[in-house]
Structure 1
């Protein structure tokens, strides 16, 4: 794998199964990782923290957190937007509030972080990686709110990649199918888990996309589905 530079790499949603895995993987590869979440993420194993919970749906709170991170750890090079959530709800039995919630925690979190760190990423010629969803391309029953918000993440990524290209920075999105996490195993105990995606595989792909070996990859929407 090609070498990465040494600006700060922010990982959001770092208290979750995927976020914590990604933060550790990137730190192990020598990146300066700052982990943030809606709950405080303690510093451990070389992973930095801004030292408080951050409401990523609140743009002003996000801006403050970016300023704090830069003050503590230095300029931002990369941003990995993992924070998000899932709700299964049919339109007939659902509510507008569910759609608004999915929009807020899946799209607005990535949007706010990208906007607040954009100039720093541009200056460092770094990368932004968003987590979309393979299921966003064909929404099944009950998947409307989640799939719509993740489809919006894809469009944000594509537009952002064009905006970053002239300065040598990049934006890409990873579209996983079901992740093999304790929460998913608990909620779907009867499911066929053979094609579920280990978080470590997503972390490995993120590490590659942040490296110089991926410098020509920009605007990509990369499915990781085990062919399911």
Structure 2
């Protein structure tokens, strides 16, 4: 049975993606700084600082020891902040880089030796905002643009080793947090966590074998 690691597994998209992949027959490893729900997982790794190389190296060691390998990685861990450039803090740019780019970079580097064994697949979570930033989205868009460039660079570096690397670029995700922040929005126009999880599952499947280095918009009707 194929094994997939999902970072950010304690969050709404992480939980939905883990459930979708589990239903498709994957053994799922959930990794997060927060508390990862154990239900349905082959391995739940909570309290893991994904921005820390030593912590992720330890997590990789546990996956290899307890499950014997890894076939795929989904980098979901990340964060968001709305601030204008003129009135916001420089520290926000650093924080979103850490949350969105550094976590994906370190998780991928730590797990790449396992993925190389079988010729695995990686899916990163970018953002449609990375293509064109709106007001207040500078720091977030810049960090997600970093995820896009990381995806492209890794895809080029690993294509001759049989490891595929792609990213999805969602617009607004229909999560409880986003509904709370934007109560007057038309939620039907947003992308549900389940819909995005379906796209992720496709990119990990044999049907997506010819696809690498792609940045795939998943924007609903936003």
TM-score range normalised by the length of the shorter chain: over 0.9
* 2:50 counterpart of 1:40: no
Matches within 5 A, 1:122-141: 122-141=116-135
The aligned counterpart of 2:114 is: 120
For residues 122 and 8 of structure 1, what CA distance do their matches in structure 2 show?
Answer: 13
Root-mean-square deviation (Å): 1.1
For residues 50 and 24 of structure 1, what CA distance do their matches in structure 2 show?
Answer: 13
Q: How many residues align?
A: 222
1:149 to 126, 143, 151: 143
2:168 to 171, 174, 188: 174
The unaligned stretches of length 5 or more in structure 2 are none
For residues 50 and 225 of structure 1, what CA distance do their matches in structure 2 show?
Answer: 30
Instruction: Give 1:69 shift.
Output: 1.6
- Where 2:191 maps in the other structure, the secondary structure is coil
The aligned counterpart of 1:19 is: 14
Q: 1:76, 1:120 within 8 Å by CA — same for their partners in 2? A: yes
Q: Mean alpha-carbon deviation: is it higher for 117-126 or for 22-31?
A: 117-126
Deviation track 1:93-113 (CA, whole Å, cap 9, x = no partner) reads 211111000000000000001
* 2:160 counterpart of 1:185: no
- Where 1:202 maps in the other structure, the secondary structure is helix
For residues 59 and 7 of structure 1, what CA distance do their matches in structure 2 show?
Answer: 25
The unaligned stretches of length 5 or more in structure 1 are 1-5
For residues 82 and 167 of structure 2, what CA distance do their matches in structure 1 show?
Answer: 22
For residues 70 and 93 of structure 1, what CA distance do their matches in structure 2 show?
Answer: 46
The aligned counterpart of 2:194 is: 200
Q: Mean alpha-carbon deviation: is it higher for 135-144 or for 148-157?
A: 135-144
Instruction: Give 1:194 shift.
Output: 2.7
Moved over 2 A (4+): 48-52
Higher RCO (Cα < 8 Å, 6 or more apart): 1
Instruction: Give 1:74 shift.
Output: 1.8
- Give the TM-score of the pair, scaled to structure 1: 0.94
2:214 to 211, 215, 220: 220
For residues 37 and 180 of structure 2, what CA distance do their matches in structure 1 show?
Answer: 26
- Give the TM-score of the pair, scaled to structure 2: 0.97
